[in-house]
Amino acid sequence: MRVGFDAKRLFNNFTGLGNYSRFVVSALSEYYPNNEYWLYTPDLRNHSEINGILKKKSISLHPPSSLTTSLRLGSFWRSYHLGNVAAHDSVQLFHGLSNELPITKPRSLKTIVTVHDVIFKRFPQLYKPIDRQIYTWKLNNACRTADKIIAISKQTADDLVEFLKIDPAKIEVVYQGCHANFKRTYSKDQLKEVQTKYKLPKEFILNVGTIESRKNVLLLLQALKSSANDLPVLIVGRATSYMKQLTDYITANGLERRVTFILNVDFSDLSAIYQLAKVFVYPSLFEGFGIPIVEAISCGVPVITSQGSCFEEAGGPDCLYVDSKNQEQLAVALNKVLSNDGLATQMTAKSKTYIEKFEPSVIAAELMRIYKGILQ
């Protein structure tokens, strides 16, 4: 089987969509190496995360022609012409890994699109009007023309039905897994080095994610005032304008010594920071999947997150879930975990068993089942 991928994110994004793309291609090439996996991308980057993938025998790289590149038509090539290119290359199945597919393609080419979320529909106020229009147009085109749609959670599948009126029979839920880095074990000395490098407190509550209003970090800060413990909070992520709301609250409530922001973390250090935390708190209002929950569990950290959305799909029955608008509930949950080491240990052990469904071998098998079903 020759499978083509829209690999732009794989080569150029080193967070969510890029991590998913690399995870899928790596898993398929590892567990089904007898197939051919063709990576199409208009832009290339030299990066250690990518170089290892390209060394695999079943994977080959296919950028646009030098003429297309010299005329700076790479984006047009990807968005409009790539379906025809893949068909010409005898690709049997083309997989768009990030919510979109090429506009044109011959009928002979079977296609799949992975949809990560429809948050721009559920929370339109968080997006610029022009961005919403572009996202809607691309996603509608992909869902209309795809032979099968892969949703990364049941929540995303339900949103596709609700907001885009997609036939549920066209959708399959295949979860995503986290990066292998989060299964890494560290010695005490290695953890100490990371702790020293980032000037981390000895013990802390951790939050990881883009620092934006949808992630709802303000609830965590509000819960600190009601919590019986005095542990500091470490917030790791990329800053947005939401930072001002958080810093204003911190100043107004005298929390300067209890809250630390780290806006730039080496990815290779992130799993160590998780492992140093006493508890991971993710009070997000809504996600397509919530991969930081899986990352934290993989690192052996108990998780407190929000009720509803996809959070229970990601975390399973042994995380603690609170109302994302109730600071008192979050404070109670924090006290419950931080005052009971036995409970924390039980939560992490059972949650690790739950997330075995997100292992590369399981996800690769699900994808291959869908691929074969479409081609047959």
**What is the Rg, in whole angstroms, of the alpha carbon atoms belonging to the chain?**
22
pTM of this structure: 0.94
Contact 358, 178 (CB under 8 A): yes
pLDDT digits (tens, 9 = 90+) for 98-127: 999 999 999 999 999 999 999 999 999 989
Residue 259: both structure tokens together: 């809250």
Domain ranges of the chain: 2-177+359-375, 180-357
pLDDT for 10 equals 96
Assigned architecture for domain 180-357: 3-Layer(aba) Sandwich (3.40)
Q: How far apart are CA 33 and CA 57, in angstroms?
A: 8
* Torsion-angle region of 67 (φ positive above 0: left; ψ -120 to 50: alpha; else: beta): alpha
- Which residue(s) pair with 207 in the sheet? 235
Note the pLDDT of residue 310.
94
Strand 110-115 relative to strand 259-262, pairing: unpaired
Q: What is the pLDDT of residue 48?
A: 85
Per-residue confidence at 291, pLDDT binned at 50, 70, 90?
Answer: very high
Q: Which residues contact 9 (CB under 8 A, 6 or more apart)?
A: 17, 18, 20, 21, 97, 98
CB neighbour list of residue 59: distance below 8 Å, 6 or more residues apart: 25, 29, 37, 39, 53
Q: What is the pLDDT of residue 273?
A: 98
pLDDT above 90: residue 306: yes
* Phi, psi of 258, rounded to the nearest 5 degrees: -110, -5
Q: What is the mean pLDDT of the chain?
A: 95
Per-residue pLDDT tens digits for 11-68: 998 888 999 999 999 999 999 999 999 999 998 888 888 988 999 999 999 999 999 9
pLDDT at 228 over 80: no
**Secondary element (H or E) of residue 162:** helix 154-164
Q: Read off the pLDDT band of 268 (50, 70, 90).
A: very high
pLDDT of res. 49: 86
Q: With pLDDT > 70 as the criterion, what percentage of the chain qualifies?
A: 100
Q: How is the beta sheet containing 171-173 ordered, strand by strand? A: 59-62, 36-40, 2-6, 93-96, 110-115, 148-151, 171-173
DSSP output for 271-305: HHHHHH-SEEEE--S--SS-HHHHHHHHTT--EEE
- Report whether pLDDT(161) > 90: yes
pLDDT, mean of residues 146-172: 97
Structure-token pair, residue 297: 């569990």
Indicate the Cα dihedral angle 286, 366, 316, 304, nearest 10°.
-40
Determine the pLDDT at residue 45. 84
Q: Which helix H or strand E contains 195, and what residues bound it?
A: helix 188-197
Position 285 pLDDT exceeds 80 = yes
Average pLDDT over residues 165-172: 97
The pLDDT confidence band at residue 188, using thresholds 50, 70 and 90, is: very high
Dump pLDDT digits (tens) for 320-341. 999 999 999 999 999 999 999 9
pLDDT at 15 (0 to 100): 85
Q: With bands split at pLDDT 50, 70 and 90, how would you rate the model's confidence at 360? A: very high
Does the domain at 2-177+359-375 match CATH 3.20.20.150? Answer given as no
| Residue 94, token pair as written in the block | 């083309």
